[in-house]
Amino acid sequence: MKWKDNEIYEISCYLFNRVYGSDDDKEDELILDMVDWQISEFGWEETFESWQRYLLTECRTPESAINFANLFWAYGGQDHPIKEPYEFLGYFYYRINFDTEKYDDMGILDSLAVYLLPKAGYSCADLVINPYYVPEHDPRIIAEVKAYKSSGI
């Protein structure tokens, strides 16, 4: 791994190794400045790859995956395009075993789906076109969950 890869990953670990909603306003401001710096320094694609690496390696419980999703939203990740949003979203549903009632009381996964999927060209999740879209019933999300289950990660 290159030095730059280590640096960007260390920053990502710092950003995501916290509990969503537990920081004070001054620390929130510093964290958001660090997010902006990371994206401007490394670009969105490399930043996202590092964030996703953190998700896949460090977020092995339902609670940690939902915490990541909330932090991802707080950091503005939904405002950027993601090449494989189904793979990204599928991991969350895999970790919570589709139990949104128990683990996703704020509805962060629905929010991520309806922001990320249309941005990537998937109009099925555009609530203007399909106001009854439910990520848990989306065949592509279901397929990603099955793929994660069979991968054993």
pLDDT tens digits, one per residue of 48-78 = 999 999 999 999 999 999 999 999 999 999 9
Q: Is the pLDDT of residue 86 over 90?
A: yes
Helices (H), 17-99: 25-42, 44-58, 62-74, 85-96
pLDDT confidence bin for 21, thresholds 50/70/90: confident
**Cβ-Cβ contacts under 8 Å for 44 (sequence gap 6 or more):** 80, 81
- Per the model's pLDDT, the better-predicted residue between 5 and 147 turns out to be 147
pLDDT tens digits, one per residue of 98-113 = 999 999 999 999 999 9
pLDDT for residue 16: 97
Average pLDDT of the chain, as a whole number: 93
Question: What's the average model confidence in pLDDT over 23-50?
Answer: 90
Between CA 142 and CA 22 the distance in angstroms is: 32
Between CA 8 and CA 49 the distance in angstroms is: 10
Q: Is the pLDDT of residue 27 over 90?
A: no
Half-sphere exposure of 24 (CA within 13 A, CB side): 2
